[in-house]
Structure 1
Amino acid sequence: MNTKINLRIDEYTKEALDEYASQEGKQLSEYIRDILRNHVGLIPNHIEDEYFVIPQLEVIDALNEYENSYDFTYLLTWLFCRYMFPIETNSEEAIQSIKRRVELAINESGFSQELKLEFMKVLNDINRFLVESEYERKQFYFPLKNHQLSFNYNLLMNEIWSKKY
């Protein structure tokens, strides 16, 4: 028995999903069902097992060295943690460590210039955060929606997901 789910998303997300669905020759609803099945670990009905065998070495070779590093994984984790909890409780030393990782993302990654400019927003916000005096509930601005320093998380995810293996 199939269950119906109604979902509200912004227009940008819908357009991006429509584009991905059309690239795979699918209807939007079919594409979203496959995403949900994959997320919960179910194999979509129309995909055969051979598509799930991806040699690990080919994946690693396709990525730039920085994108495959511990530093980048650490940075991604921190960025998405700030998205959920913009208030920072780490020490200045920890923030300096993050700052170095953001600088590596700008200088050492194979990302597009557009995404590197997004990382510049994060770097500018970190610099502001470090020089600003301490106060209760001090937070970063880049994870906040509708702020001039807002980081484009969709661009980051799309660029990572579009890496050719």
Structure 2
Amino acid sequence: MKSDTLNVRIPRKLRDTLINDSDQKGISLSDNVRDILTTYSEELQSEEVDNQTLFDNNFPNSNEFIYLISWMYEKSRDPINWGLKNDLKDLKKIVLEVIKNNCFPNDLKLEFEKVLLDILRLINEFGTGNNQFRFCELCSNDAFDYVILRDYINNRAFENRIYL
């Protein structure tokens, strides 16, 4: 592995501390500084992953997710698609975000896969007169289980509750 030289000025006290630390570890000063910088760099990358996880975990509170579940509940009362093809494509993107997001339980992701398949079907059949969603039909194998969604929302609402 090719490496570069980095010259930096540091306070004498820090240099002495690094030298003592290197001697105690039985490694060269260069190896010690390299190890420290590598560890620091890995921690920074880990923080970036944690921030992405925070973003992922915040998705259930996003406007997109709230829009999606509002739309789904509306479809349970009126399963006809009155929207545009682009509306369906936007909903498809949101459903895909739910499915790939790690903060949702697998049983809920499976339910959203039913919605995704139904949206894809309607996108492909757009303009043919077949504009009824099946995921919201009761007593159907393709029906979305709203109880799983309701339970997820209820459990999440009490996740951060503080009991005194």
TM-score where L is the length of structure 2: 0.59
Corresponding position of 2:63: 70
Q: Deviations over 1:80-137 (max 9, x none)?
A: 1111110011000011000001001111251110110000010011111111253446
Corresponding position of 2:108: 115
Kindly indicate whether residue 77 of structure 2 is the aligned counterpart of residue 84 of structure 1: yes
Q: Is this contact kept in 1: 2:108–2:149, CA < 8 A?
A: yes
Kindly indicate whether residue 87 of structure 2 is the aligned counterpart of residue 106 of structure 1: no
Percentage of identical aligned residues: 31
Corresponding position of 2:136: 143
Secondary structure at the counterpart of residue 140 of structure 2: coil
Query: Structure 1 unaligned runs (5+)?
Result: 1-60
Q: Is this contact kept in 2: 1:66–1:109, CA < 8 A?
A: no
Return the letter of the residue paired with 1:153: Y
Q: Could you tell me how far 1:64 is from its partner in structure 2?
A: 2.1
Secondary structure at the counterpart of residue 57 of structure 2: coil
Secondary structure at the counterpart of residue 147 of structure 1: coil
Kindly indicate whether residue 153 of structure 2 is the aligned counterpart of residue 157 of structure 1: no
Q: Is this contact kept in 2: 1:83–1:143, CA < 8 A?
A: yes
Between stretches 69-78 and 104-113, larger displacement belongs to: 104-113
RMSD: 1.8
Higher RCO (CA < 8 A, seq sep 6+): 1
Supply the distance in 1 between the matched residues of 2:102 and 2:84 (Cα, whole angstroms): 26
Q: Which has the higher helix share?
A: 2
Supply the distance in 2 between the matched residues of 1:133 and 1:68 (Cα, whole angstroms): 31
Paired residues, number: 104
Larger Rg: 2
Q: Is this contact kept in 1: 2:96–2:116, CA < 8 A?
A: yes
Q: Which stretches of structure 1, 4 residues or more, deviate above 2 A after TM superposition?
A: 133-137
Secondary structure at the counterpart of residue 162 of structure 1: helix
Query: Structure 2 unaligned runs (5+)?
Result: 1-53
Q: Is this contact kept in 2: 1:67–1:109, CA < 8 A?
A: no
